[in-house]
Structure 1
Amino acid sequence: MEPVLAVKDFSLTFKAGAETNLVESVSFSVSPGKTLCIVGESGCGKSVTSLALMGLLPSPPARIVSGTAEFNGRNLFAMPERARADLRGNEMAMIFQEPMTSLNPAFTVGQQIAEGIMRHRDVSKAEARAEALKMLEWVRIPAPEKRLDAYPHQLSGGMRQRVMIAMALANRPKLLIADEPTTALDVTIQAQILALVRQIQAETGTAMILITHDLGVVAEVADDVAVMYAGRIVESGPVEAIFGDPQHPYTIGLFGSVPSLGRRQGRLATIKGAVPPLDLMPKGCRFAPRCPLADSRCHDEVPPTVPFGDGHSAACWYAPIEQTMEARQ
C-alpha cells in the first residue's frame, strides 16, 4: 500500500550557521488506516517535526535544511504557502495537545467547526452549522444541540478535546496528526478519547501520526513506532517488534523506566544524565553521553541504521544488542 505521507532525510534548524540541526535526518512513513506513534521525551523534536509538516513553523527562524515530505505525491516542503493552507484542515489536520489554548474563547464551538468546513467546501452557513452538529454527534458529545452554541470555557477538558477532534475530522482528512491529545486528561477520559479516535479511523481509513511519550498509549493504538532522541530517530518498526525486542539502548531504557502492575522488583531503571543542548551535541551518536554501551567510536561517528527485517531497524553501533552483550560477558 502506498503511504499517505513519506518523510525522507528531514533536517531542520532554528539557528543560522548552526553546526548541528535540531531535527536531523529523520525518515518515516504512514499508510492509509494505519497509526504511526512517534515516541520520545520532551524536547526530542516530536512536536517540531509535526508543526513543520503542517507548515506552522515561522520562517525565520525555522529553516528546513534538507529532506522531502511526500504527501500523496506532492512535496510539502516545496509547496507555496497558499497551497499548504488549502491542505491544512482539509486533506491534513492536526489535534493539538491543549484544546483550551487552541480553541478561540470568543467564538462558540459550532462557529469554529463551521469555519473550517466553509473554508474548504462550497456550503452555506446553515449547511456548515448542520454539518458541525453532525460532527459533535459523531464524536459523542452529550446534548450536541446545546453544546453547538457553547463557548470553550463552558465545556470540560474531555469535551473540548472531542471538539478538537470534530474540527480536525470535519473535512475527512487523509492524514491526522495528533500531538499528545490525551496528556491533559484523566485516565478514564483518555481511554474514551483513544477509543473514539480508533473507531473513527477505522470508519474513515485516515492515516494518523500520534505524538506521545506515554508507552501505554503506544501499546494500545500503534501499528508502527518511531523512537526519537535529540532530534534523531534511533529505532523504528512495527509495534510488536519495538515492544517485544527493542534494540537501541535508549528504547530499552524507556521500557525499563515504566512501572508495572505486578509486584515491585527493586527500583525502576533510570537513564542517567540529560539530553545535551543543541550546541553541545556529540559528533557521533547523540545518546552516547548517556549510553552504558558507548565507546569512543559512538562519540565520534554517526551510527549506521541496522535493519532486522520486517521494517524493524535501529541506529546503533552495537545492534543487535544481544550479540553485543554476549560478547562482553
Structure 2
Amino acid sequence: MGLEATQQSRTHIHEPGTVGLAAEPPLLDVQGLSVRFDGAPKGVNVVDDVSFSVRKGKTLCIVGESGCGKSVTSLALMGLLPTPPARIVAGSARFDGQDLLTLTERERADLRGDRMAMIFQEPMTSLNPAFTIGDQIAEGIVRHRKVSKAEAWERALDMLKKVRIPAPEKRLRAYPHEMSGGMRQRVMIAMALANDPQLLIADEPTTALDVTIQAQILMLIRRLQEETGTAMILITHDLGVVAEVADEVAVMYAGRVVESGPVEAIFEDPQHPYTIGLMGSVPSLGKRQGRLATIRGTVPPAELMPKGCRFTPRCPFSDSHCANDPPPLTEIKPGHKARCWYAPLEIHRGAAL
C-alpha cells in the first residue's frame, strides 16, 4: 500500500486538534530513558534521553532505520535487556503510575505477559518448537491467572478463534513448525493478548511476512485493539504502516528521538531533515516523477557517533553549529517537537527547501 493511499485512508480517524490533548494521564510515560552498552565510548548511549508517552486505546509508532535504538528501547521497557552488557543509566518509565525501571526481576516477571505484553518480529525464535501451540498459550494464562489447565486451554482456544486461525481445535495441538509464518504470527498475537494486557508492544510484527499477510495481521491487531482498548507501541521502519495505524509518532535516529507528534503533523509538516528523508524514500501509487530520494550514508556506530547532532554527517543542511552542539527536542507547535537547530525548517532553511 502506497504512502499517499494510507494517509488518505486514515483521515476519518481523528478530529482536528484532538490528538494528544486528552486530560487523562498517559498509561505509559517515558522520560529521559538512556541505555549504554559496556565497551561503548564514554558518554555515548545507544538510547539517549528518549521521552514519549502513550495513552489508553491509542497507538504510538516508533519509526526509524535499523540500528536507531527502537528495539533496545522496547526491550528496556519490558525488562528483557541482558545486564551486562546493557545498562539503563538514566530516565524513568511510569506505567500506570509505577516506574518500570525500579521493579525487581520478580515484579517484572509478574507484569510481563499480564498487564504488559510483547509481539516479536520473528515468531519462530519466540515459540518453543518442543511444545504445542496450546501448551504455550495456556502456560502464560496459568502463570498469571488462578485457573486450571483445562480452563487455560479453553481460553487458548478462544484466543485462536479471535485471531481467526482456521480449525483452531486442531491447531491447539499442532507444533510451531507445522504452521505457516502468518499463522505463527497470529499465535504470537493470541499469546500476547490472552491475559487482556493494558499495553502491547509490537516489534516489527509484519516484517518477515509477505505484503498480503502483512495487511491481514495489521488489520487483526487494530480490530483486537479496538475491542479491548489496549494501548500499543508499534515499532517499524515502514512509513506506510505508520500512516495506517498510528495516533502518535516518534521518529528515532542513532538512539535519539529526533521528531515526535500526532501522525497528521508528522506527515503533513515534517520538521526534521531525517523525517523528510524517510518520507522522500517511500514510493507512492501515483505517476512516477523520477527516482526515489535516498539518505546518503548509514547510521553511525557508537565509536563514530558525532559530537553534536547525530544526523550531521548525512544532513544536507548541517553546518558547524550542528556538528558541535547537540540540539534539544523543541516544541514547534502544540504536541509537535523536533530535534533540529533550524526547525521550523520553512523559516530557517526556506531557501534550501
* TM-score when normalising by structure 2: 0.92
Match of 2:172 in 1: 148
1:313 to 308, 326, 337: 337
Which of 289, 292, 305 does residue 265 from structure 1 map onto? 289
Q: How many residues are matched? A: 329
Determine helix, strand or coil for the equivalent of 2:349.
helix
Are 2:323 and 1:296 equivalent residues in the alignment? no
Question: Residues of 1 paired with 2:188 and 2:42: CA distance?
Answer: 36
Residues 84-233 of structure 1: pairs in structure 2 closer than 5 A:
84-233=108-257
Secondary structure of the residue aligned to 1:24 is strand
Could you say what secondary structure the match of 1:326 adopts?
A: coil
After superposition, what is the alpha-carbon deviation per residue over 1:277-311, rounded to whole angstroms, capped at 9, x for unaligned? 10111111000111011000101101122212231
Letter in 2 for 1:12: V
Letter in 1 for 2:176: P
1:211 counterpart letter in structure 2: I
Letter in 1 for 2:88: I
Deviation, structure 1 residue 18: 2.7
What's 1:275 paired with?
299
Partners of 2:178 and 2:293 in 1: CA distance:
42
Q: Deviations over 1:84-121 (max 9, x none)?
A: 00000000000000001110000000000000000001
Q: CA deviation at 1:328?
A: 5.7
Structure 1: where are the runs of 5+ without partners? Answer: none
RMSD: 1.1
Name which of 11, 28, 35 aligns with 1:5. Answer: 28
Q: How far apart, CA to CA, are the structure 2 residues paired with 1:129 and 1:107? A: 14
* 1:186-216 deviation line (CA, Å, top 9, x unaligned): 1111111111111111111100000000011
Deviation at 1:327, TM superposition (A): 5.4
State how far apart, in whole Å, the 2-side matches of 1:210 and 1:326 are.
Answer: 33
Question: Take 1:44 and 1:305, find their aligned partners in 2: how far apart are those partners?
Answer: 17
Q: 1:14 aligns with which of 37, 54, 60?
A: 37
Identity rate of aligned residues, in percent?
A: 74
Q: Distance in 2 between matches of 1:259 and 1:105?
A: 38
Q: TM-score, normalised by structure 1?
A: 0.98
Off by >4 Å, runs of 4+ in structure 1: none
Residue identity opposite 1:169 in structure 2: L
SS in 1 for 2:156: helix
Which deviates more from structure 2 when the two are superposed, residues 129-138 or residues 271-280? 271-280
Counting only pairs closer than 5 Å after superposition, residues 37-52 of structure 1 correspond to structure 2 as 37-52=61-76
1:57 is aligned to 81
Residues of 2 paired with 1:262 and 1:282: CA distance?
Answer: 38
Which range is displaced more, 271-280 or 167-176? 271-280
Mapped contact 2:63–2:250 kept (Cα < 8 A): yes
**Secondary structure, counterpart of 1:94 in structure 2:** strand
Residue 325 of structure 1: aligned partner: 349
SS of corresponding position for 2:249: strand
| Aligned residue identity for 1:144 | P
Instruction: Please give the alpha-carbon distance, in whole angstroms, between the structure 2 residues aligned to 1:267 and 1:159.
Output: 36
C-alpha distance in 2 between matches for 1:196 and 1:104: 23
Distance 1:77 1:282 in 2: 28
Q: Which letter maps to 2:183?
A: M
User: Structure 1 CA distance, aligned partners of 2:273 and 2:294?
Assistant: 12
Question: Could you tell me how far apart the structure 2 residues matched to 1:200 and 1:268 are?
Answer: 35
How many Å apart are 1:275 and its aligned residue? 1.2
Q: What are the Cα deviations for residues 213-254 of structure 1, in whole angstroms up to 9, with x where unaligned? A: 001100100000000000000000000000111000000000
Structure 2 Cα separation of the partners of residues 55 and 325 of structure 1:
41
| Whole-angstrom distance in 2 between the partners of 1:129 and 1:106 | 18
Distance (whole Å) between structure 2 residues aligned to residue 327 and residue 153 of structure 1: 57
Offset at 1:326?
2.6
Query: What is the CA–CA distance in structure 2 between the aligned matches of 1:95 and 1:145, rounded to whole Å?
Result: 23
In the TM superposition, what is the alpha-carbon distance from 1:19 to its structure 2 partner?
A: 2.5
- CA distance in 2 between counterparts of 1:239 and 1:67 reads 25
